[in-house]
Structure 1
Amino acid sequence: MNRTPELHDAIQDLSEALERRLVVLDRTMRVVAYSIHESPEDRLRLSRILAHSDSWDIPATAHRASAIQDVDGVGPVVMYRLLRADRHIVGYLMLTPMDGTDAATPVGGVAENQLGRISRLMEARDSSARALQARSSSLAVDLVSHDDERCQGAAAMLLSEEIFGVSEHYCAVAIGPGAVEATPTALARVEQAVAQTIRFVNDTSTASVIGGVSNEGNGVLIFPRPVVAPRLARILTRPQLAPSRAGIGPLAPLDGLRDSYRRAGWALRATSLAPADHPVAVHFSDTGSDGVLAALPLDGLAVQDLPAPVRHILQEKKTRLLAVTLEAFLDSAGDIQRTAQVLNVHRSTIYYRLERLTEVAGVDLRLGTVQRDLHVGLRLARLAGFLDQPDVSRS
């Protein structure tokens, strides 16, 4: 939906009056509007501007109205600053070269009143964008609310206001600080992570996404399509956003986003509690049993609540240190040779450790039901923080 038709029309009017091709850029040097580029040379020049403008240096217009800038692949262009009412720069108006000339060829210049009109329209555009962002943020949080009325109202408004296109399936993402007990700094980075993800999508595509931060401090992102986990992880691993992590819920209809977000929250909790076992951004479907175990009230779990064999192992200091051996043994489906390779020790060492663990736990490790209880119990112990986390190597 074109929310700034007046700006586009004003640029075209000015282009006709000056007989020049015009481009408007925002403060970050991103193109936001341009006049008709009719000739092949004009269209080629415009394609280069669209592809590279956000990598250009900021024009030297802090203390003057315009500056000539030589742009690789485009030629000399004239950059006019666009000022808000408070005299802060809101963007730039670019005069591109005419065929057979350059942008510095005298054309009488752009009148102050013409620049003023474009500036006011850019300021209105920014104001509208901020209002839309605030509105979208609120609606994103409402979409995953436990309040049915808020959910339904948010879904209706998103579609009626054309903030989102109609899609068969949507996806909810939960972003968190990457730790159970988050510091104020980590919580602040969650908000930055939501903002930067939205900006990445807006800067690199015409796709849509909305997001906000819930009262509990977790970020909410809503996509009208599947989410590519590695791409989201690349955003979250930026140094200024660490240690933020994300859980991605399953696809769902708009009125089912609450359930998608609930599972996204479980996935987020799983990757935060076991960062060595899950990537920075993980789909709920890829968390295995961890995604379900993470839904349990682990904060109130005590060693005494675990299955008896696991409890006995954790209550004795020496065998507690050997619990990692038992984990590796169970993860290797009881294969001694593979366990030894994983732990980089001799097979005889594994036999000795397992014998000692069997004595303490008081169970027969050959029994499937015993292996099941030990595996689940040790996994709960790790997620609850009773076992030291290994170095993160898969994030």
Structure 2
Amino acid sequence: MLEGRLQDVVDELAERIGRSVAVNDPRVHILCASRHFGDEDRVRVRAVLQRDAGSAAAGHILAQGVDRWTEPGVIPPRDDLGMRARLCAPIRWRHQLLGLLMVIDPDGSLSPASVEAVVEATGVLAPLMYGEFAARDTERMAREEALRQLLSPSATVRKAGRDALVRGGRLPSARCAGVTVARVVGDPPADRAGVVEVALRTGLERVAGDRALHTEFCLDGPRGLLLTCSDRPVPEERLRARAAVLLQQVRSVLDGSAECVAGIGETVEGGVEQAWMSYEQAAGAARAAGPQTGGDGVVRWAELGALAPLSLIPPDRLTPALLPAPLRALLARDPSGRLTETLAAYLDHAGSAPRTADALHLHRTSLYYRLQRIAELTGLDLADGDNRLTLHLGLRLRSLMRAAGQG
């Protein structure tokens, strides 16, 4: 068995250099570890006992750029995590990162001969791991592609995905289905793409471990897709709580380098064949979410109201050209944003001056002056329902643009 052969290499290296040694996969999940040599720390003990070093420790390791390393380097300590310094050597085969060989080295006292022994061990481990990991990756990629197809708006593509999942014995059988989409806000730099992928997978795997629900997941660029299937609708509070846990895990790995938000689609009946509708909604809700969303960063499609259909506009089409000319004129002449804020409050309160004044803590005379100024700058009569609808839709589109970082 592969695990036994890996363990033999790790144990032999640990005895040779007299240090605690471990092999992790590229997501910093521990695969095997030697016995302790009195140098263990809290992170290692947790990893050995729970098979998981924790998302914060994983994020710290990944933040060093280990997914791009081609030779050994030092992972600095993190006192707040109870984590000592480590020598980390990438395990690669044909340029593919298969794992990370970790050696506890709190004071940097590993001898050159010991470092050379670590490098030699990566050369032994790489061919052992390649075949097994290549097969797993091929299977995973095929399953994820089938799931992406299953969630396509095209009936033909959905059928291909369904058939592939049936052949693989992975098609969920349930009456209800719902989708959650987690996305990293903005375009991550190319050198952070690997960390983003690990962060999303860490979060998805965490919530997918709920055995009370049948869950499938996959990645789609800087987004994670979570399909939840059940025989009866899952309470909204539970879906939101799972999404919050997902984001918590992702943020912990990203360690402040990027923000992540999530959208939840409505639960649909009719089995997984109808899940694509929930996916479209979840993707729209995730696009509507942003750093300014506040709270836990989770947005449900059902909460969007009139913004819901607008959220389905592709991000690359969210440009100032969509905004009505009167609103663009107002924005250009309102650098402080005070008039725009007043207009938004007025429209959100259905054109009620008393309620708007109360919401903005304004004297009504001041409110009427601002509304008059808005009418002058836009050239629109705010008493006209069509004019109010035009401006309200424009403001909602602007909020989507800002969520997408385009306004």
TM-score range, shorter chain: 0.5 to 0.7
Q: State the 1:291 CA deviation.
A: 0.7
**Is structure 2 residue 30 aligned with structure 1 residue 31?**
yes
Other-structure match for 2:279: 261
Q: 2:366 aligns with which of 314, 337, 349?
A: 349
Is the Cα–Cα contact under 8 Å of residues 22 and 33 in structure 2 kept in the other structure?
yes
CA distance in 1, matches of 2:373, 2:96: 73
Secondary structure at 1:250 match in 2: coil
Asked if the contact 1:173–1:246 (Cα under 8 Å) also holds between the matched residues in 2, the reply is yes
Judged with a 3 Å threshold, the aligned counterparts in structure 2 of structure 1 residues 34 and 317 are, in CA distance, closer, same or farther, namely closer
> 1:148 maps to what in 2?
155
Counterpart Cα distance in 2 of 1:172 and 1:82: 34
**Among residues 325, 334, 338, which one is paired with 2:342 in the alignment?**
325
1:173 aligns to what SS in structure 2?
strand
**Hey, what does 2:179 align to over in structure 1?**
171
- Distance in 2 separating the partners of 1:325 and 1:342: 10
Pick one of 195, 198, 202 that aligns with 2:197. 195
Gaps (5+ residues) in structure 1?
Answer: 1-5, 36-42, 64-71, 73-78, 96-109, 179-184, 305-309
Q: Report the secondary structure of 1:145's partner residue.
A: coil
Q: SS in structure 1 opposite 2:197?
A: helix
The counterpart of 2:392, out of the listed 379, 382, 391, is 379
Distance in 2 between residues matched to 1:390 and 1:143, nearest whole Å: 31
Aligned Cα root-mean-square deviation (Å): 6.2
Do 1:82 and 1:119's aligned partners in 2 also have CA atoms closer than 8 Å?
no
Counterpart residue number, 2:138: 131
* TM-score of the two chains, using structure 1 as the length reference: 0.57
CA shift, 1:221, in A, is 1.8
Equivalent runs, 1:212-291 vs 2, <5 Å: 212-213=220-221, 219=223, 221-224=225-228, 226=239, 228-231=242-245, 235=250, 240-241=257-258, 246-252=262-268, 253-271=271-289, 280-291=297-308
Q: Is the CA contact 1:82–1:118 (under 8 Å) kept in the aligned structure 2?
A: no
> What percent identity do the matched residue pairs reach?
21
The answer for unaligned runs of 5 or more in structure 2 is 35-44, 73-78, 80-86, 104-116, 210-215, 230-238
The residue that corresponds to 1:157 in the other structure is: 164
How far apart are residue 382 of structure 1 and its match?
A: 1.4
Q: Residue 192 and residue 13 in structure 1: after superposition, are their counterparts in 2 closer, same or farther (change >3 A)? A: closer
Equivalent runs, 1:28-67 vs 2, <5 Å: 29-33=28-32, 46-47=48-49, 50-51=52-53
Q: Distance in 2 between matches of 1:241 and 1:124?
A: 34
Residues 174 and 203 (structure 1), Cα distance of their counterparts in 2 relative to 1, 3 Å cut:
closer
Q: Which amino acid aligns with 1:328?
A: A
Q: Does the 8 Å CA contact 2:177/2:274 hold for their aligned counterparts?
A: no
- Residues 91, 101 of structure 2: 8 Å contact kept: no
Q: Distance in 2 between matches of 1:89 and 1:390?
A: 37
Question: Cα–Cα, structure 1 residues 171 and 260, in superposed 2: closer, same or farther, change >3 Å?
Answer: same
Say yes or no: does 1:8 pair with 2:10. Answer: no
Give the letter aligned to residue 123 of structure 1: Y
- Change in CA separation of 1:328 and 1:137 when aligned onto 2, cut-off 3 Å: same
Q: Match of 1:343, as an amino acid?
A: L
Report the Cα offset of residue 258 of structure 1: 2.2
Whichever of the two has the greater Rg, that structure is 1
1:340 corresponds to: 357
Secondary structure at the counterpart of residue 152 of structure 2: coil
Out of 213, 218, 221, the residue aligned to residue 210 of structure 1 is 218
Give the C-alpha shift of residue 143 in structure 1: 2.3
Amino acid at match of 2:133: D
Larger helix share, 1 or 2:
2
Kindly provide the CA deviation profile for residues 265-289 of structure 1, in whole angstroms up to 9, marking residues without a partner as x.
43345447x9569985422112111
Matches of 1:122 and 1:388, distance apart in 2:
45
2:129 is aligned to 122
Preserved CA contact (<8 Å) 1:143 1:258: yes
**What SS class does the counterpart of residue 200 from structure 2 fall into?**
helix
| Pair 1:246–1:289, CA change in 2 (3 A) | same
1:117 & 1:388 partners in 2: Cα distance?
52
Structure 2 match to 1:303? 324
1:232-260, CA deviations, whole angstroms, 9 ceiling, x for partnerless residues? 55547965445x76543223432123212
> Taking structure 1 as reference, are residues 266 and 84 closer, same or farther at Cα in structure 2, changes over 3 Å only?
closer
